[in-house]
Structure 1
Amino acid sequence: MNRLIALRAILLLVVVVLVARLAQLQLITTDAQRFGPNIDVTTRRYLTNQPRRGEILDARGRILAESVPIYNLAVVPGQLPSATTAPEQRALTLARLAQIADLPATLIIDPASAVETMPDLRAEVMALTGAPLPATTDSVTITIAPADSIGALTLSRKYREVVTLVNPIEQLLAQANVRSYQPVIIKEDIAPELVLALRENTNYLPGARVVEGFRRRYPLSSEIPSLSHLLGYVGRINACELTAVNPASSWLRALTDVTANAPVCGLMTKEIEPTSIGLPPYLPSDLIGKDGLEAAYEKVLRGQMGIDSLLVDALQRPVSGVTTLRPVANGHNLILTIDAQFQAEVERILQRWIRVGEERRLAAKEAHKRAYAPIVAGVAVALDPRDGRILAMVSIPDYDNNIWVDPKRIAELQALLAPPSVEAQRELQRLAPFTNRAISGQYPPGSTIKQFVGAVALQQGVITADTKLRDPGLLRLIERSGAEFILPNSVRNRDNGLIDVRDALRLSSNVFFASVAGGNDQAVNLDQRALRIPGLGIDQLVEGLSWFNFGRATGVDLVGEASGRVPTRAWKAQVLREAWTTGDTYNTAIGQGYLEVTPLQLAVAAGAIATDGTLYRPHVVDRIVDENGQVVQQIPAEPTGRIPVEQRHLATIREGLFASITNGLGVAAREVCSGLRIAGKTGTAEFGPILTTADGRLVRQSHAWFVGFAPYERPEIVVAVLVEGVGDLNDGSSTIAVPAVTQIMQAYFGVTPPTNPPSICPVLP
């Protein structure tokens, strides 16, 4: 019995204590009651200082990307008047800040019927907004101009039963979800006059703070918009990027992060750094490189954030000054291989020849050519074949990357990201101004591929330099399916007789290169006297093209590079569910069918032909320097391989490429016309749907290519030009792409055309 009484007493005591504690939690009104006698106990907290992002400069030191110092208006939540003890003062402070920051507020009248029962309210709202109230039975939501923030606050206080003012800064603070001692930026890049006014009136704006920051700017991009594809841009880091760039402290943590974000972000790589516990390198409010060099060299350009410390009380309010624990380490600068002046000239030249292509389209005699989509796109890549330095890279259409970082141009950006109509969306998709076609565009190379097919055939012993094959103008064979396959020549279907590989390059003979690749032993239109050869076959051809790195990314120091495509038997069986045919091998050998390359791939491979067979990794950055100009890293020439083709075979191919200019259709590049000794290969690559002409013929539109090098004896530059859709507009390869490359080389070497050229030389615009 005594034990039962004791147990009841204990239970009663526990209930009394719990009830008392609950009452205390519900009735406390002061910070001292809530936190007890330890409210004055301080805790050390940490703040971060963002580094200044490094600059990007051209080869002559002209600034292409810079971080311009700006002042930002920020709010420290813990220093604002309390929403509990000083709500009126807090509301007034935030209304003043919203007015200064030019942030519109929201006025809510609920219920809307209050407007009918309070005529003074209707009049005052109309006087404040200058517009009649909408007729509705629901609540009324009104956007208040920043200049009227104080008036709206007064109105909400007067009619507090039915009117609520939603301050935008309160919303920003809630979204930021930061500690009370951390500043939240509410307005970027405020005027210097406003900075002085804010600093002189801090007593009237408790919690307001001026924070120094930076804004990215691209000084030459409006003048030379083709730089935008190279430079890229910066933007606010997203959740997937934040997960990827912040290292994990262990492999288990990395696996957890990657797995948790896989449904949204897909598979990603994540660095593991055991010492990464603490403040991560990137915060949710940070900027990060999104494209081009800004993304490729993000770690180099960003620098390292600084860390400060301060003391806060139990309410997380600052109670001490700031102490620097780790100073800011600003980002390094990039010095490019590209001269902005030469880049601008290449851009002008390419634009000029794109316009010529459009003029030809409009003036074409054939109706189906006039119906082509407007000629608007092209690519030009210039590099040094001796070390892989990219000298110019132009992709048109282009854009001004300042639209990503200049708030005043947000309308331009929105127009590009979200066109207003379906037709505008389709046109934007066709133009693709954000795409760097030089590294991401994948095109059939046309006859430009023949130089590589010839080199492989020579090395594999399928032909010798003096082997002569019969070219009757077309090649006809019967496929295993019984269907007839006819391969016409690229320029004209005339009988070229017996030709060797040099003649074949000069004439751009489809028959010759199809024969060395797929064999002519199955052809039904060759007489018994013609030399029959089995050819390389698709497997050997694929292997040979891989020597030149086709089908693989070049490794250029830019993001977004495509790998192109070298089709194989397995690829066709897997993707198209069809067997490989000899006709497929023929098409691959002449740069058609399923073969695709990027303009940069083609230029790099041509550089190996032009020199000693060495392939170099192309690069845009020459060196990395610190903010004092001291070299941190010199980017060396990086050979990625040497094609296994004997020098005598490369010399044979170069002779054919030189003959295609001196005795071929590339007249504009001849020395008597250009003042330079240029060698190279044109290409006309069909694409798009099959069209029917007025006389019933089936045709396709085509691109125009030319890739060349100069000087012929000791090449210093390789230039590849592609103008989309002009191949069949008066032989655009010879009369558009060749002159474009010629003028680019003249600009590079500072050579002017001869004063009195022969009559065979075309007059170039």
Structure 2
Amino acid sequence: MDVPMSLSSPTTRQLNNDEKLPAAKLAGVQYAIVLLLAVLVAGLWRLQVLGADNWKVLAEANRVRKVPVLAPRGKIFDREGRILVDNYPSVSCYLLVEQIKDPSVDLPLIASGLHLPIEQIQATLKRFQGAAKYQPIPLKQDISQDEQAFVEAHRNELPELETHDEQRRLYPKDGFAAHMIGYVGEVSEQMLQNDERYAFYSPGDVVGRSGVEQTYDALLRGKDGSRDIIVNSHGKEVGHLGQELAVPGQDLKLTIDLDVQRAAEKAMDGKNGAMVAMDPHTGEILAMVSRPSFDPNQFSVRLTKSYWNEILTNPDHPLMNKTIQAQLAPGSTFKIIMSVAGLQEQMAQDLNVGCSGGATFYGHFFACDLHHGHVDIHNAIPYSCDTFYYTLANRLGIDKIAQYASAFGLGQHTGVDLPDEASGTVPSTQWALKNYHRKWYAGETISVGIGQGAVTVTPLQMARALGGIASGGVMHRPHLVFPEEMPKDFASALEASFPGSGEKTVPIDPANWQTVTDGMAEVTSPGAFHTAAASHLDGIDFAGKTGTAQVIGHDALAKTNKGHDTVPNAWFVGMAPRRNPDIVVAVLWEHGNGGFNSAKLASQVVNAFVTKQRRLANNLRIAEVPKEAPKQSPENPADPSKAVAVTETKADAAAGPGAE
């Protein structure tokens, strides 16, 4: 029997020693394990303790989605509370990028269901590629019922699509008051990058892009809210958690009188040009029309390429608000400025000329349309005699003319609360030196004297200037929104954003004021040479001044075919009554041929205004009979004189000394 080998034999001990690790290695392994555990513990601490709130938010986001609730824009009303701009319920489709890894996979189906070119969707995604993943991307606004049904039917296949209920802008039809009201649209990348006003806006936000909509966007816009909804793993809505209510935008009441606006729109129908009506007592704009117009409803949703191209290629510039942006020679309407300057400088009182069809100055013959014979300041305005004003301009000189034109607000912004107002041009010796680095030639002054040459104005400037002259030199800043409609800080910022000549008074001698206003009244009175006699309004003290502005020089006109583009522009600025008027109307009819044509358009608006004021005066007087007034009886009949008195108009009461 063999004896078992001892466990302590050399061979066994050698094997056991070979299996044991060296103490240094064992310690290293232990330290590595401890370090690994420490790292794991630290990671768990960071995730579960330090990052608990963050992961809680992320986990919540997997089941809760914040849906924006867009605030409806404030409505816009006329001065009597009649609605001009409303909102209507609409549905828009958005894309949720966080719901999908690769949006391009579903693009063909989405494009087909929403009736969109796939290139348009790709362009939209590219524009929003820098936006946060959770931000919905607007794909299509104001979708149809068929498109809503498509989204609902493909909830499981296309969880990235969702619809939002919104309020969309509803503007008047046929471009009614479009330039004055403006339109809304998505904020552009350029606006977000370069305009401080839009620093807190995001891509896709709808903002005012022109007119009142742009100027008062901060008031009209309101504050968006949100709705927290519970969604499942497929992004489908399964419940609600809560909501933050949207704050609607502020409603705005404009100074526009809807009845006067309708009369102005009707008068300008089918014509190119502009018309503006204003209350010279306050600067309140009563009507504003620019033609041709555009449909702002086309801009309230995504603008079609065809409509945009149609507007851009139209040579008559439908997007231009010609009441504040058309800078054209004023023609003979400028002669009222000349008359005031000549009278105030004591040069026109004794000026007498014999008009035989024109006069020669500095070796050049300047024509007059008619042979007026003897002309002085009293018949120069109704005759609109160029020869008289050539002579007066030569005596005054360009710098004196510029002084008075500038005093009455020409060549500078009026400060109207609309974007992109033009300033026009009032030439002077300094102007020629600054802009053309040359001296001013005396012969150039002759044309300026009749509102031609280098002088350019806007219709609103002429309405304010001539309305100010008829008001004894008192001029107010034109505006479309009543000051009390705005918070004080907003009103202060607005005035700084739209600087202009503002509130001012230009001293006019009462005798000169009477001469000029009587002359303007003669313009619309029956008379052989009176330029707007056909626009006379029976029973209304209607005054004004016509202007026919050449768009091409006499010499050039003789050498070219006399097409439509060579027909003169027709101007007229009128007011009622002649002194301290309640309304002033400026009309620019492009290629309208003669100021007498524009006078007929202005008379329609003045007639509508005065007729309404008389009707309101009747109603107002009847309504304001004191309750304690004695009742009518056979012994105490009503006073017939008081019954007649209610026909007195606001114009009659405010006409001032010497008014008719």
1:334 touches 1:624 (CA, 8 Å); kept in 2? no
Q: 1:41 to 1:596 in 2, by over 3 A?
A: same
- Deviation of 1:290 (Å): 1.5
**Distance (whole Å) between structure 2 residues aligned to residue 295 and residue 210 of structure 1:** 27
Distance 1:41 1:670, change over 3 A: closer
* Residue of structure 2 equivalent to 1:70: 90
Answering whether residue 62 of structure 2 is matched by residue 42 of structure 1, we say no
Q: How much identity, in percent, do the aligned residues show?
A: 29
Q: Following TM superposition, by how much is the alpha carbon of 1:226 offset from its aligned partner in structure 2, in angstroms?
A: 4.2
Shift of 1:494: 4.3
For 1:77 and 1:56, how far apart are their aligned partners in 2?
Answer: 36
Paired residues for 1:285-684 under 5 Å: 285-306=204-225, 327-351=245-269, 354=271, 377-407=272-302, 410-417=305-312, 425=313, 428-429=314-315, 431-464=316-349, 467-473=350-356, 476=359, 479=362, 484-489=363-368, 491-496=369-374, 499-519=375-395, 536-622=396-482, 640-662=503-525, 663=527, 664-671=530-537, 674-684=538-548
Change in 2 beyond 3 A, CA 1:476/1:334: same
How far apart, CA to CA, are the structure 1 residues paired with 2:560 and 2:299? 47
Q: Could you tell me how far apart the structure 2 residues matched to 1:611 and 1:76 are?
A: 61
Q: Which residue does the alignment assign to 1:101?
A: 114
Provide the rounded CA distance (Å) in 1 between the counterparts of 2:74 and 2:413: 27
CA change 1:656–1:328 in 2 (3 A) is same
Give 1:642 deviation, angstroms.
Answer: 0.6
In structure 2, distance between residues paired with 1:283 and 1:293: 21
Number of the residue aligned with 1:706? 572
Which residue in 2 is equivalent to 1:133? Answer: none
| CA shift digits 1:527-548 (9 cap, x unpaired) | xxxxxxxxx2222221111111
The aligned runs of 1:676-695 (5 Å cut-off) are 676-688=540-552, 690-692=556-558
Aligned to 2:181: 231
Gaps of 5+ in 2: 1-27, 37-42, 496-500, 614-660
2: CA distance, partners of 1:708 / 1:301: 34
SS at match of 1:69: strand
Aligned in 2, Cα 1:171/1:513: closer, same or farther, shift over 3 Å? closer
AA at the equivalent of 2:393: A
Query: Which whole-Å CA distance do the structure 2 matches of 1:717 and 1:411 have between them?
Result: 41
Q: How far is the alpha carbon of 1:321 from its aligned partner?
A: 7.0
- 1:231 and 1:477 mapped to 2: Cα distance? 48
Checking the alignment, whether the CA contact within 8 Å between 1:281 and 1:305 is kept in structure 2 is: no
Q: Which shifted more, 589-598 or 604-613?
A: 604-613
SS of the residue corresponding to residue 550 of structure 2 reads: strand
> Larger Rg: 1 or 2?
2
User: What is the CA distance between 1:282 and its match in structure 2?
Assistant: 0.4
Q: Which residue identity is paired with 2:367?
A: P
Following superposition, the deviation at residue 385 of structure 1 comes to 1.5
Deviations 1:191-247 (A, max 9, x none): 4676588669755653443322232221x232xx24111111112212231134456
Match of 1:761 in 2: none
Contact 1:675 1:751 in 2 (8 A): no
1:724 aligns with 2:607: no
Secondary structure at the residue paired with 2:524? helix
1:403-459 per-residue CA deviation (whole Å, 9 max, x = no partner) reads 223458653333323xxxxxxx4xx23x11111111110111111111111112222
> Could you tell me how far 1:599 is from its partner in structure 2?
0.8
TM-score calculated relative to the size of structure 1: 0.63
Contact 1:502–1:657 (8 Å) recurs in 2: no
Contact 2:330 2:549 in 1 (8 A): yes
Q: CA deviation at 1:473?
A: 3.1
In structure 1, what residue type is equivalent to 2:200?
P
- Residues in 2 aligned to 1:246 and 1:751: alpha-carbon distance in whole angstroms: 44
Instruction: Give the match's secondary structure for 1:43.
Output: helix
Are the counterparts in 1 of residues 357 and 370 from structure 2 also a CA contact under 8 Å? no
Return the alpha-carbon distance in structure 2 between the equivalents of residues 171 and 743 of structure 1.
50
- The answer on whether the counterparts of 1:76 and 1:183 sit within 8 Å (CA) in structure 2 is yes
**Matched-pair contact (CA < 8 Å) for 1:502–1:659:** no
Q: Structure 1 residues 70 and 226 mapped into 2: Cα distance closer, same or farther (>3 Å)?
A: closer
Match of 1:374 in 2: none
Contact conserved, 1:477 with 1:486, CA < 8 A, in 2? Answer: yes
CA 1:644–1:211 in structure 2 vs 1: closer, same or farther (change >3 Å)? same
Question: Paired residue for 2:10?
Answer: none
Listed as ranges, the gaps of 5+ residues in structure 1 are 1-12, 22-31, 84-89, 107-167, 248-269, 271-279, 355-376, 418-424, 520-535, 627-631, 753-765
Distance 1:514 1:716 in 2: 32
Q: Give the superposition deviation at 1:514.
A: 2.8
For 1:646, the aligned partner's letter is D
